[in-house]
Amino acid sequence: VFTLANCLFLSAVLFAIGAFGVLARRNLLVVLMSVEIMLNAANLALVAFSRYYAAGGAPLAGRHAIEAGAGSALARAGGGQIFVLMSMAVAACEVAVGLALLIAVFRTNRSVMSVDLGEMRG
């Protein structure tokens, strides 16, 4: 069912998938895509909280609770959506710079695999 907890769980699953991609893949292109998936997972959590608080939901509480302080921007109704827009802008910048870096790496190395970047080792 369509509850806050399930939205957050979906976001956690997507985040874990993205983290797996970042850790296990060697193709830097796919690593960048995995980072995008992780960013999207975080965006989903923000949008879900935004919807929850806008409908007058009470902040979650408990031993492992995810807390947004009462005065914080995230607890403000709709603050999460603005945050997501900013995060999307940051993601776009990150992809532009990341891909430019990737092309620069490819020009010098003829490869986009992270294992071929051994010369970066100190």
Of 68, 74, 75, 81, the residue at the interface with another protein (CB under 8 A) is 81
Size of the site for another protein (CB under 8 A): 85
Supply the minimum distance, in Å, between the C-beta of residue 105 and another protein: 10
The reply on whether position 107 binds another protein by CB under 8 A is yes
Can you give the C-alpha Rg of the chain in angstroms?
18
Report the C-alpha dihedral over residues 31, 36, 37, 43, rounded to 10 degrees. 160
Supply the minimum distance, in Å, between the C-beta of residue 99 and another protein: 5
| Distances 118 to 78, 99, 113 between C-alpha atoms, Å | 45, 19, 10
**112 sits in which H/E element:** none
- Show contacts with another protein in window 14-73 (CB under 8 A): 14-21, 23-27, 29-30, 32-34, 36-37, 40, 43-44, 47-48, 50-52, 54-58, 60-66
